[in-house]
Structure 1
């Protein structure tokens, strides 16, 4: 069987985000279990080959196909007016099926397709509210945001063309069908993600961290509710004077990123702002060290397709407090404290800091919950769906 696999997402900005990490882990684990099929990997010409870092099984069979980047001007507005990427031309490769882990790269014609669906974040949170003193720049941003949403709606229609869809959670599947009822829900299968096995290892980082801190790992976009999390932290400071908040993610650069968010200018003058530590991208060794030393992992997101950092924290043995929405209850189960408002969140974090018994209870539940999600199982289920579609 010849399986097409679009790997271009591992060469773009998504490489170090959730999609990139998921694609890398699925491929790495498929290479361990599939010794019979031939994979045709599609990559951009002239860019780094991401396969070099993946340590695929030596018995894994694959071929490489290189495609040229679409020749559009690099200006953001032009890229929004048109689709950023065109589907690969697979007509000469005699594929039985094509696996597309990132819908923004499109699907080729005349071949059965399996697409991965993550979430509808750009549909709900398309309005990127930036801090602008200049009114002209404000309206320019508004126009660009609307164009971005239109392009996203064009891209999302690829799911209607797919022969099979893999959704990363039951919540995401329901959300897709609710918003696009013309998609047959029988062709949508749920296959859960997992946390990297590296997060079940003992920490080896020698770096020193504050004695008392709560931790957040992820993005800083609107749905992540960072302003809400910081307000929660400020309330916690009333009773926990020495507590720090560490925010980890590539967007937590004050000069390059955060100063563009309106909420940043609302919270930066507070007397407790000095107790917030902003950290950009850190490697896995340091991230494990941070997780292992944190008093609580705090996740105030308003919407998640899955919520991978929750599993990472649980597998290391950090108690989790999160808001009760979207896919979060599905992933966390009863092994985290899920809240409906800020006051509940403050109370939950306080209890976990102050009560060793409650902390021990949530940590033990979390470790067991994290074991239910395994990348090898994810790879097996993904491969089964791909093969089923190819043989139809």
Structure 2
């Protein structure tokens, strides 16, 4: 089969779906000798900042609904793959659609009209697609709940940590000890305020020993709100907003950290947790959405900021617990790999596309 891939997200963004596509598609080309993968994008150069103006959003819909179907027809594509809604609604060939999560349905701050528009796009796309992939069982359940599709139409294809990340054996400097969190972005559901407050509530001896490093995009309203929050809480000397970092820098940050914390209110998978485990870092996470699926029984799950602060204290003062969580996390991370993700994805391809 000739499989056409909507590759726009890989060229435009630095986020999770770009990482997903850049890992998945090359592996599919390598291991799948039965199919040919052709990539299509309205921005093949990958120029940063492509989606900054209203006209580009209009052009995106024109390209998706009119230009892409023509290109698929011209290249004799048998199956279309879309890594995110919406799909090309005028296509008549079988489609595979990835719905990473439905976080917008839980976003209380999102305007009603925006949520309504997204629901329509997701609903129509989910019903247009022959099969759907998603990253966790929790997201699969949400897709069934909100978009009324059959469960047997959905395939769970878990993510995997980057091959560039690994445990680095570096000597820790006591005066530079830190706790790490990697929200990636500062949208409200990442709930960074509660990580900061949990850190602030630690006993003085721990708070004086450690810093909190936050890795995420240093742009936008959400980042500015967190920056102001840190100042209001008088934590500017203890909370470091590190911005974006390379895979090599991130691997070093994970490996040297004493503890990884995730206080997100909703995640479609929670990849940073798995990345931390791969780098040998004890993990504490909020117990919601897909996060328990990733953490399993090798990390500590908590319900609120008070439990988070107590768990942080417990791990930081207990070296035996640190060793146990580190060892279990490394074993769990080894269960995930991009080759396994690619093989899982292959099972979602329609078998009768011709």
TM-score (norm 1): 0.80
Contact 1:247 1:276 in 2 (8 A): yes
Q: Counterparts of 2:188 and 2:173 in 1: how far apart (Å)? A: 31
Q: Counterparts of 2:262 and 2:303 in 1: how far apart (Å)? A: 12
- Corresponding residue to 1:74 among 53, 59, 66: 53
* Equivalence for 1:354: 317
**Closer/same/farther in 2, CA of residues 38 and 353 from structure 1, 3 Å limit:** same
- Corresponding residue to 2:140 among 152, 155, 173: 173
Establish whether residue 276 from structure 1 lines up as the match of residue 276 from structure 2. Answer: no
Structure 2 runs not aligned, ≥5 long? none
| CA shift for structure 1 position 29 | 1.5
Q: Counterparts of 2:37 and 2:8 in 1: how far apart (Å)? A: 14
> The residue matched to 2:212 in structure 1 has which SS?
strand
Contact 2:180 2:212 in 1 (8 A): yes
Q: Counterparts of 1:207 and 1:91 in 2: how far apart (Å)? A: 57
* Equivalence for 2:117: 151
* Equivalence for 2:187: 221
1:360-379 to 2 correspondences below 5 Å: 360-379=323-342
RMSD value, Cα: 2.9
> The residue matched to 1:95 in structure 2 has which SS?
coil
Q: Counterparts of 2:106 and 2:62 in 1: how far apart (Å)? A: 21
> The residue matched to 2:176 in structure 1 has which SS?
coil
Aligned residues: 346
Structure 1 runs not aligned, ≥5 long? 51-68, 129-144
Establish whether residue 38 from structure 1 lines up as the match of residue 16 from structure 2. Answer: no
| CA shift for structure 1 position 104 | 3.7
Please identify, of 171-180 and 117-126, the stretch whose mean Cα deviation from structure 2 is larger: 117-126
Q: Counterparts of 1:9 and 1:105 in 2: how far apart (Å)? A: 13
- Corresponding residue to 1:212 among 177, 202, 205: 177
| CA shift for structure 1 position 8 | 1.1
1:323-342, CA deviations, whole angstroms, 9 ceiling, x for partnerless residues? Answer: 11110111110011111122
Q: Counterparts of 1:285 and 1:203 in 2: how far apart (Å)? A: 14
| CA shift for structure 1 position 126 | 5.9
> The residue matched to 2:204 in structure 1 has which SS?
coil
- Corresponding residue to 1:230 among 166, 175, 196: 196
Contact 2:189 2:264 in 1 (8 A): yes
**Closer/same/farther in 2, CA of residues 201 and 330 from structure 1, 3 Å limit:** same
* Equivalence for 2:153: 187
TM-score (norm 2): 0.88
> The residue matched to 2:140 in structure 1 has which SS?
helix
